[in-house]
Structure 1
Amino acid sequence: MKSKAIIDDINEVMNREIPLLLSLSDEQVSIKRNKQNRTVKMLVGHLIDSASNNHQRIVRLQYAPRCGHSMPNTEMGMLVFPDYTQDNDLWIQLQDYQHEDWQQLVMLLKLYNQHICHVIRSVDKTKLNNYWVDYEGCRVTLDAMICGYINHLNLHFEQIHELL
């Protein structure tokens, strides 16, 4: 893992996107919906949820006694990550991002990603091959998860730009 490059990429996205997000009106972030029926507010909320879930995984995969797992009926002692992938629309709904204060939502996204960068910078490099098994049964290493985080950010910022 090239943590400096990943951190630089995350910071570059945040430095580019946060000022744009803060400049948007309530109408721009609350009305128009994409094909997944998500507004800009909901997409930003989803990015916060993604940061939250990945934060847990990054930290826990460094000390878990066994690999993480999101499959039912796992061995005792195995770290279990809930299947957030299948529930992310429910997360958006239950947290009511559509009615959250926009400025606070954007600042939370910014600050959470700053913290993610700090956590990535502090990762124990000997733990990068620790893995969890996702809901489809695929092994995901800590390294691959960290490296893939920027792709997820970019994907959803592309969706945000399509709505503007």
Structure 2
Amino acid sequence: MMPPKNKSVAELAKEHGLSEQTLYKWKRQAKEKGMVIPKTNTSSENWDPKDKFHVVLETATLNEIELAEYCRSKGLYVEQVMAWRDACMQANGGVAQETATLQRHLRDKDKAYKQLQKELNRKEKALAETAALLVLQKKCRAIWGEPEDE
């Protein structure tokens, strides 16, 4: 079931006289122990991203010789693992860059919001002052009457 052969469960069951359930159980147990086992019998380029990430993690500390040995045992190419590693690095860098951009936009929006808030407060004060003057003008007219034309 494991790379590089990637035989199907049904094929292995017939070949070795085992039940398919036993093979699925062994596969599940191996996966629980942390082994990288692709979900399907497809080529390594069609592996699940999670499996690719596990391979990148497993090979992160390996030197060139150990990496080549690991790749041979899994049926992979060193170039594939390096490409997956680069993709992981770019994905992480992209998130950091996007976060910085979003923070910059948020700061700009906060500045604009504070400026608008300040302008709104100034206009509210001016409106309140104008309203107070109009009320005083009405009271003056009520007390002293309309100004006469001279």
Q: TM-score range by the shorter chain?
A: under 0.3
Q: Which has the higher contact order (CA 8 A, sep 6+)?
A: 1
Please report the TM-score for the alignment, with normalisation by the length of structure 1. 0.22
* Between structures 1 and 2, the one with greater helix share: 2
User: Between Structure 1 and Structure 2, which shows a larger proportion of strand residues?
Assistant: 1
Provide the TM-score with structure 2 as the length reference: 0.23
